[in-house]
Amino acid sequence: MPEAQADIALIGLAVMGQNLILNMNDHGFTVVAYNRTVSKVDDFINNEAKGTKILGAHSLQEMAGLLKHPRRVMLMVKAGKAVDEFIESLLPVLEPGDIIIDGGNSLFEDTIRRTKYVESKGLLYIGTGVSGGEEGARRGPSIMPGGSPAAWPHVKPIFQAISAKVADGSPCCDWVGEGGAGHYVKMTHNGIEYGDMQLICEAYHLMKDGLGMTADEMHQVFADWNKGELDSYLIEITRDILAFKDTDGAPLVDKILDTAGQKGTGKWTVISSQDMGIPITLIAEAV
Query: What residues act catalytically?
Result: 186, 193
16 or 185: CB nearest ligand ATR? 16
Among 2, 39, 34, 3, residue whose Cα is nearest residue 21: 34
Shortest CB 104 distance to ligand ATR, Å: 8
Element (H, E) at 139: helix 133-139
* Interface mask toward ligand ATR for 225-254; x: CB under 6 A: ------------------------------
12 or 251: CB nearest ligand ATR? 12
88 or 217: CB nearest ligand ATR? 88
20 or 218: CB nearest ligand ATR? 20
82 or 230: CB nearest ligand ATR? 82
Shortest CB 21 distance to ligand ATR, Å: 12
Task: Verify binding: residue 88, ligand ATR, rule CB under 6 A.
Answer: no
- Under 8 Å between Cβ of 24 and 56: no
Among 176, 60, 64, residue whose Cα is nearest residue 129: 176
- For 262: left if phi > 0, alpha if psi spans -120 to 50, otherwise beta; the answer is beta
186 or 219: CB nearest ligand ATR? 186
Window of 11-19, 186-194, 217-225, 274-282 that interacts with ligand ATR by CB under 6 A: 11-19
DSSP 3-state of 124 = strand
- For 50: left if phi > 0, alpha if psi spans -120 to 50, otherwise beta; the answer is beta
DSSP 3-state of 203 = helix
Q: How far apart are the C-alpha atoms of 28 and 186, rounded to whole Å?
A: 27
Task: Verify binding: residue 47, ligand ATR, rule CB under 6 A.
Answer: no
Among 152, 176, 27, residue whose Cα is nearest residue 101: 152
Q: Which residue in the set 6, 8, 9, 13 belongs to the binding site for ligand ATR (CB under 6 A)? A: 13
Which pairs from 55-61 meet CB under 8 Å and 24+ separation? 55/6, 55/30, 55/31, 56/32, 57/9, 57/32, 57/33, 58/34, 60/34, 60/89, 60/90, 60/93, 61/93
Q: Which residue in the set 6, 12, 148, 176 belongs to the binding site for ligand ATR (CB under 6 A)? A: 12
Task: Give residue 88's Cα distance to chain centre.
Answer: 23
The DSSP 8-state label assigned to residue 94 in this structure reads S
The strand ranges marked E within 171-271 are 177-178
Shortest CB 13 distance to ligand ATR, Å: 5
Q: Which of residues 48-87 bind ligand ATR (CB under 6 A)?
A: 77-78, 81-82, 85
Window of 19-27, 33-41, 130-138, 232-240 that interacts with ligand ATR by CB under 6 A: 33-41
Q: Which residue in the set 1, 2, 3, 37 belongs to the binding site for ligand ATR (CB under 6 A)? A: 37
Task: Verify binding: residue 40, ligand ATR, rule CB under 6 A.
Answer: yes
Shortest CB 75 distance to ligand ATR, Å: 8
Footprint of ligand ATR (CB under 6 A): 12-14, 35-37, 40, 77-78, 81-82, 85
